[in-house]
Structure 1
Amino acid sequence: MPRTAQRSAPGLTVEIDRPDRSYFMAGDTLTGFVVLDLTKVTFFHSVRLQLYGRAKTKITKSNGTRCAIYRSRRVLFNIQQTLHIGQVDCGSGEHAWRFAIQIPNHPASGQECGDELAVLSTTPAYLATEGGITQHALPTTFNTTFERKLGFVKAEGYIEYYLRVVVFEKGKPKASMVCTKVLFLRARSTDEPAEDFKTRPTEQNCIVRSIKLHPSHADNPPPTRTTLERVLQPSKRTQHALNFHITHPTIIQLDHPNPLPFAVSVEPTPPPTSTSGPLEIRLTNLRLFLQSTTRVRAPSIFGETHKVLEYELTSKRMDHMIPTHTPLNLTNFLDIHVHRTLCARAPGELFKQRPLFSSFKTYNIAVSYELCWELKLDCAGQVVVVKTGKGEGQACEVLDTSEADREKQDVVEGWAEGRVGRDWEGHIVVTNTALRTVNIVLNGVSALT
Structure 2
Amino acid sequence: MSVGTLHTNIVLDDPTKIHCGSRDPVRGHINIRYQFGPGNLNAELFGPLRVIVVLHGRAKTKIWKSNGQSTSIYRGRAPLIHCEQEIYHDSFRAQPGEMSSFPFSLVFPEATQSLPRDDFKEDPRFNTLPCQPLPPSFRSNYHGFAHRYESFVEYRVGVNVEMPQLRVDVVKPTEYQEPIVHYEPPRISPDQSRNHITTWRGFVSVRNELLLPESDRPAGFRQKTKALFGAGNFPIYAFDWECLAPTHIHLGQPVCFEVRIKPREHECTATLIPDVQLKYFRMDVSAYTQVRADRAIFTCPESEGNYTVCEMTGVIDSQEPFSKANDNTKYINTAAIGSGRIGSFASSFTTFNISQTYTTKISFAFELTGKLKHIDQEYPILIHPPLEVAHHPPPAIAGPSSQAVGEENKTPDLPQYEPAPPYEKMPTNTK
TM band (smaller chain): 0.5 to 0.7
2-side partners of 1:413 and 1:62: how far apart?
56
Query: CA distance change for structure 1 residues 224 and 23 in 2, over 3 Å: closer, same or farther?
Result: closer
1:400 aligns with 2:386: yes
1:250 aligns with 2:252: no
- Who is 1:104 aligned against? 108
Query: CA distance change for structure 1 residues 255 and 362 in 2, over 3 Å: closer, same or farther?
Result: closer
Query: CA distance change for structure 1 residues 199 and 129 in 2, over 3 Å: closer, same or farther?
Result: closer
2-side partners of 1:226 and 1:358: how far apart?
58
1:76 aligns with 2:70: no
- Who is 2:426 aligned against? none
- Who is 2:261 aligned against? 266
Say which structure, 1 or 2, has more relative contact order (CA 8 Å, 6+ apart): 2
1:357 aligns with 2:345: yes
Higher mean Cα deviation, 370-379 or 312-321? 312-321
- Who is 1:349 aligned against? none
Q: How much has 1:327 moved relative to structure 2? A: 4.6
**What is the TM-score of this pair, normalised by structure 2?**
0.64
2-side partners of 1:337 and 1:60: how far apart?
37
Q: How much has 1:15 moved relative to structure 2? A: 4.6
- Who is 1:338 aligned against? 336
Q: Given that residues 193 and 405 in structure 1 are in contact (C-alpha distance below 8 angstroms), is that contact kept between their aligned partners in structure 2?
A: no
2-side partners of 1:255 and 1:77: how far apart?
26
Residues 286-341 of structure 1 deviation map (CA, whole Å, 9 limit, x = unaligned): 1222413151411323552232233213367975322489854433xx55441653
1-side partners of 2:237 and 2:187: how far apart?
46
Q: Given that residues 38 and 95 in structure 1 are in contact (C-alpha distance below 8 angstroms), is that contact kept between their aligned partners in structure 2?
A: no
Q: How much has 1:105 moved relative to structure 2? A: 2.8
Q: Given that residues 191 and 403 in structure 1 are in contact (C-alpha distance below 8 angstroms), is that contact kept between their aligned partners in structure 2?
A: no
Q: How much has 1:156 moved relative to structure 2? A: 1.6
Taking the TM superposition and a 5 Å limit, the aligned residue runs for 1:8-407 are 11-15=6-10, 19=13, 22-23=16-17, 25=19, 26-27=21-22, 28=25, 32-33=29-30, 35=32, 37=34, 39-40=36-37, 50-62=54-66, 65-80=69-84, 102-109=106-113, 112-119=114-121, 121-123=123-125, 126=126, 128-130=127-129, 133-134=131-132, 136=133, 138-148=134-144, 150-151=145-146, 153-166=147-160, 178-180=172-174, 181-187=178-184, 189-190=186-187, 197-198=194-195, 200-212=197-209, 219-221=216-218, 223-224=223-224, 226-230=226-230, 242-256=239-253, 260-269=255-264, 275-277=269-271, 279-299=273-293, 300-302=300-302, 304-314=304-314, 319-323=319-323, 327-331=327-331, 336-338=334-336, 340-341=338-339, 357-363=345-351, 364-388=353-377, 392-393=378-379, 395-400=381-386, 402-404=388-390
Aligned residues: 366
Give unmatched runs, 5+ long, in structure 2.
41-48, 294-299, 393-402, 412-431
Q: Given that residues 239 and 270 in structure 1 are in contact (C-alpha distance below 8 angstroms), is that contact kept between their aligned partners in structure 2?
A: no
2-side partners of 1:402 and 1:309: how far apart?
24
The secondary structure found in structure 2 opposite 1:104 is coil
Residues 155-198 of structure 1 deviation map (CA, whole Å, 9 limit, x = unaligned): 2221211222357999xxxx985524223233255477679654
Q: Given that residues 290 and 303 in structure 2 are in contact (C-alpha distance below 8 angstroms), is that contact kept between their aligned partners in structure 1?
A: no
- Who is 1:429 aligned against? none
The secondary structure found in structure 2 opposite 1:297 is strand
The percent identity for this pair of structures is 16
Q: How much has 1:54 moved relative to structure 2? A: 0.9
Q: RMSD between aligned alpha carbons?
A: 4.9
1-side partners of 2:369 and 2:304: how far apart?
46
1-side partners of 2:99 and 2:292: how far apart?
44
